[in-house]
Amino acid sequence: MSMQTRSGVLLKHWWIWLTAVCLLAVGCYFYFAKAPARSAKQGPSVRTVPVVTAAARKGDIRIYLSGLGSVTPLHTITVKSRVDGQLMRVLFREGQIVNAGDLLAEIDPRPFEVQLTQAEGQMAHDQALLQNALLDLKRYQVLFEQDSIPKQQLDTQEALVRQYEGNIKLDQGQIDNAKLQLVYSRITAPVGGRIGLRAVDPGNIVHAADTNGLAVITQLQPITIIFSIPEDNLTDVLRKLKGGQRIPAEAFNREQNQKIASGYLLTIDNQIDPTTGTVRLKAMFPNKENELFPNQFVNASLLLDTKHGTTIVPQAAIQRSPKGAFVYVVKSDQTAAVRSVSVGPSEGDDISIDKGLSPGEIVVVEGADRLREGSKIELQGQAQNTPRKAK
């Protein structure tokens, strides 16, 4: 087709192209003009926040004073020999529970038996000499009354009798000492408790001057915990003790969610540590089941008081702001409302509310960081606010 013919065709259909362009322009105008109206009719979407809630309850909250403590035995005894000699027998097992007076080991007793025999023989010899001196003294007394001997001879005989009497006492001391050495050759437990690892094997020569000893016994029942509290709380503790009250004490694990043992406060140290501002306390525990072990680190708590009939919620429900503590309360229309509260003492995962909340109201314990006043919520579950778990 020639260029002249092609141009004639395009000019012939120009009105068709013009009509198509006009229709497209009108369609775009109506589409974009109606779009804001459609968006306004649909409105903004409402976002719900998933949360976990708990119901405030009425109950008792216990007021504790807590501190990190160390389990300390009442007695820690290093078993030593009180005589020198060869260790013949060891009668205990490592880690065994022993009672006071149990035989633990034996030192060779033969040298002390020989000393006892010698002392008894010397005493028999001196007793014979004393008996003879007493007989002579009676004769001299008769002769002196008859004026047959001088007074000096009678005085000399009396002195000889007193000398032999002194020898008898010395011999008795030697006998008692030999018997005591025989007793010491049998090593017994001075206190009851758990005996540790053996430090000396049978056959070795032991001495009374040895520093390590044979083994160590630690008393386990009863046992104590030494812990510290701030000096500001000392007045409350002293007031309880002066009133003659026995303050209950409890030992908890490191996470403070499981009670290990129960006891009572025994005594308070006589001074405050100026570097830490704390005072040391000692609590006694029966430890019947050996729950506590020497040098174990535990969290010790003193039960000072119990707050009855207070409103209790999980501590996770408490939020903080510059204006104070608050909670998110779930309203009947499934929205969250900010409620200022006044908090009181806490126990475990629970905390008491002095003002601002009533028992039965629902509070948010998880998901509160995404909430605002009036936020729509979606319940994901309900938590249980329970006190500390006891063993």
- Res. 377 pLDDT band, cuts 50 70 90: confident
**Which pLDDT score is estimated for 217?**
95
Render the burial of 275-305: b for 16+ CB within 10 Å, e for the rest.
eeebbbbbbbbebeeebbebeeebbbbbbbe
**Which pLDDT score is estimated for 41?**
42
Mean pLDDT for the stretch of residues 157-181? 95
> Dihedral (C-alpha) 23, 24, 27, 32: value to the nearest 10 degrees?
-150
Using the 3D structure, point to which of 257, 292, 307 is the last residue of a domain.
307
Q: Is 301 found in the same domain as 228?
A: yes
Q: Is 239 found in the same domain as 285?
A: yes
Task: Report how many domains make up the chain.
Answer: 4
Q: For 87-91, 160-164, 242-246, which range has the lowest pLDDT when averaged over its residues?
A: 242-246
Q: What is the CATH number of the domain that holds 315?
A: 2.40.420.20
Decide if pLDDT at 4 tops 60.
Answer: no
CA atoms within 13 A on the CB side of 258: 6
Q: Is 331 found in the same domain as 301?
A: no
Q: Is 204 found in the same domain as 173?
A: no
Q: Per-residue pLDDT tens for 210-237? A: 988 999 999 999 999 999 999 988 888 8
Decide if pLDDT at 355 tops 80.
Answer: yes
Q: Is 303 found in the same domain as 228?
A: yes
Q: Is 98 found in the same domain as 56?
A: no
- Res. 23 pLDDT band, cuts 50 70 90: low
Residue 195 corresponds to which tokens in the numbers above? 């005996």
Q: What is the CATH number of the domain that holds 209?
A: 2.40.50.100
Decide if pLDDT at 385 tops 70.
Answer: no
Q: Per-residue pLDDT tens for 89-144? A: 999 999 999 999 999 999 999 999 999 999 999 999 999 999 999 999 999 999 98
Q: Is 214 found in the same domain as 81?
A: yes
Using the 3D structure, point to which of 268, 289, 307 is the last residue of a domain.
307
Mean pLDDT for the stretch of residues 149-160? 92
Q: What is the CATH number of the domain that holds 124?
A: 1.10.287
- Res. 390 pLDDT band, cuts 50 70 90: very low
For residue 260, being part of any structural domain is answered with: yes
**Which pLDDT score is estimated for 89?**
94
For residue 5, being part of any structural domain is answered with: no
**Which pLDDT score is estimated for 91?**
94
CA 240 to chain centre: 22
Q: Is 96 found in the same domain as 194?
A: yes
Q: Is 203 found in the same domain as 81?
A: yes
Decide if pLDDT at 256 tops 50.
Answer: yes
Mean pLDDT of the chain: 86
For residue 14, being part of any structural domain is answered with: no
Mean pLDDT for the stretch of residues 59-71? 89
**Which pLDDT score is estimated for 25?**
65
Find the domain containing 171 and state its range.
109-184
Q: Is 86 found in the same domain as 193?
A: yes
Q: Per-residue pLDDT tens for 281-326? A: 999 999 998 899 999 999 999 988 888 889 999 988 899 988 889 9
Q: Is 229 found in the same domain as 166?
A: no
Decide if pLDDT at 168 tops 70.
Answer: yes
Q: Is 289 found in the same domain as 230?
A: yes
For residue 353, being part of any structural domain is answered with: yes
